[in-house]
Structure formats: C-alpha cells, structure tokens
Amino acid sequence: MPSLAVMASKKEVPQELSTAPFDPRFPNQNQTRYCWQSYVDYHRCRKLKGEDYAPCDYFRKCYESLCPFAWVEKWDTQREENRFPGKI
C-alpha cells in the first residue's frame, strides 16, 4: 500500500461529467425513447456524413449517457447482422 506522502503528491485531474441535455421531444422521466432516437441518429449521421464528422458525436454522447450498455451491445450486434429494426 502506498504511503500517504506518495498519495498526497499525486495530482488528481478533475473530470468534467455531463449527461444528455433536455430535449423537448422527450419531456417525461422515462428516457427510453430519447436513448433509442439518439442511437439511431448517431448511426444515421455517420452513414450520411461519414465516420469523421464531429457533430455526430453529440448523438453518441447522448446515447452513451442514457442507454444501458446491454442495449447498445444488442443493437450493435443486430446492426452487424443486418437485423436492426430501426431505419438507419
């Protein structure tokens, strides 16, 4: 276990935490639809504008903060297998 002097000498870099901003299309507490729409919008944006189009990252940040990881894994698998139910 490191000594207190060693622990005190390490500087902690503060991280900026944020979540998806309010979207008037989804005013209720249940954010499931917002999660789904952000996921679809992100992949639709990348398909239309290209992989390196920075504004698409807005949708990625939204769905990463709202969607359970298991859902994202499932949707990614479905997209890879061309079984995804959304229109991308």
The owner of tokens 């989804």 is 26
Could you tell me the two tokens for 38?
């952000």
Fill in the DSSP letter of residue 67: S
Region 61-67 average pLDDT: 94
Residue 85 near residue 78, CB atoms below 8 Å: yes
- Give 16's pLDDT tier (boundaries 50, 70, 90): confident
Whether the predicted model's global pTM rises above the 0.85 cut: no
Task: Say whether pLDDT at 47 is over 60.
Answer: yes
Domain-by-domain residue ranges, the chain?
52-87
Please give the Cα distance from 36 to 87 (Å, whole number).
12
Write out the DSSP string of 5-31.
Answer: HHHHHSPPPPPPP--PPP-TT--SS--
Asked if the model's pLDDT at residue 58 lies above 90, the reply is: yes
More confident residue, 30 or 4: 30
Residue with token string 């504004």:
55
The CATH class of 52-87 is mainly alpha
